[in-house]
Copies of this chain bind each other. A is one copy, B any other.
Amino acid sequence: MTTGDTFDVVTFGETMIRHSVAPGERLETAHGTEMRAAGAESNVAVTVGRLGGETAWLSKLPDSPLARHVEASLRTHGVTPLVAPSEEGRVGVYYLEPAGAPRGTNVVYDRESAAVRTATPEELATEHVERAEAFYTSGITPALSTTLADTTRTLLDRAAAADTHTVFDLNYRAKLWSHEECRATCEPLFDAVDTLVVAERDARTVLSREGSAADIGAELAADHDCETVLVTRGAEGALAVHDGETVEQGAFDADTFDPIGTGDAFVGGYLARWLDGESVRDSMAYGAATAALKRTIGGDVATVTPDEVERVLDSDTSAIER
């Protein structure tokens, strides 16, 4: 990558190797895995990239074939990896056992000692954050180490100072930290955030917010002076509080093949459109359509095209196309 490049969106976070076993299999007795790269922040970069933006992903990786796997996977989707080299540490890994009720899909993290955990602003190509139109990271990143919590803070601040639009998704992960830890670390970050994304459930449990989803959105926007707050609500869709207005967006029906990454696809679709100058309302619809498509696709990332998103918005895609 030529350092002179300018990106529409730069994201920052950990991308892992995802080892998933086949439906019906258990990790205990499985004989093999399917291997993909996955991480909330790179998922968002992929989605925006596939839907038209120039995107980059900022992180830190050791010199290993697994690290090259992560970088190659992102390049496949047109994302530029901006990676600080690490002498130490691993590539984080997660194992996935997909299952329906009552077992439920199980995510087993094996992300200890990941190289990214020691990433400091000095090591990272932060100039790209400052030059970008938007910067995205999520609450997973500060959960990984205190160094990363500090780095996240610094990057958000630098972005804000450089007038880069900052986007933050709370993305609470119970396997990484407690409600209290998450709140203590993340809520202070919100003040530097232009677009805040939070699941309604997390707003209630982690942030102790009450009232309707619209109330929560409005309250968060007011408390932290956010330009936009997106409250995601699972099967009920999402809601945006923007400029004092509330915009609601339902979820599109989807035959779910792989639900992981749905939220990232929503944010990515939203951002792709919004950065194109479309309204929050249109961007919400675009994000919801992208999220629905994602659910039909294996892996964490939304391997979609703008045409496909448009077709969902124009509806009626039930028949076989031939």
Residues of A within 8 A of B (CB): 2, 5-6, 19, 22-36, 54, 64-66, 68-69, 72-73, 75-78, 90-91, 93-95, 97, 99-110, 112-113, 173-175, 252-260, 289, 292-293, 296-299, 303, 305, 308, 312, 315, 317-322
Contact = CB atoms under 8 A, between A and B. Distances in A.
B108 A318 contact: no
B320 A107 contact: yes
A229 to B, nearest CB: 23
Contacts of A299: 24
A177 to B, nearest CB: 12
Contacts of A258: 24
B317 A29 contact: no
B32 A69 contact: no
Nearest to A75: B75
B253 A101 contact: yes
Nearest to A25: B298
Copies of this chain held together in the complex: 6
Contacts of A322: 94, 107, 109, 173-175
A35 B30 contact: yes
B33 A33 contact: yes
Contacts of A107: 320-322
Contact of A104 (B25, B305, B319): B319
Nearest to A112: B113
A320 B104 contact: yes
Candidate in A35, A54, A101, A318 with the most chain B CB atoms within 10 angstroms: A101
Nearest to A253: B101
A29 to B, nearest CB: 6
A72 B76 contact: yes
30 contacts: A2-B6, A19-B35, A22-B298, A24-B257, A24-B297, A24-B299, A26-B65, A26-B303, A27-B66, A27-B68, A31-B35, A32-B32, A33-B33, A64-B108, A65-B95, A66-B108, A72-B76, A94-B322, A101-B292, A101-B318, A102-B252, A102-B317, A103-B297, A103-B312, A103-B317, A107-B321, A107-B322, A175-B321, A175-B322, A259-B320
A100 B257 contact: yes
A90 B102 contact: no
- Give the top 10 A-B pairs by smallest Cβ distance, nearest first: A100-B255, A24-B298, A107-B322, A27-B65, A104-B317, A24-B257, A28-B68, A103-B296, A76-B76, A105-B320
B99 A112 contact: no
Contacts of A32: 32-35
Contacts of A78: 75
A305 B71 CA distance: 14
A243 to B, nearest CB: 30
Candidate in A6, A30, A64, A103 with the most chain B CB atoms within 10 angstroms: A103
Contacts of A112: 90, 112-113
A316 B229 CA distance: 29
A292 B25 contact: no
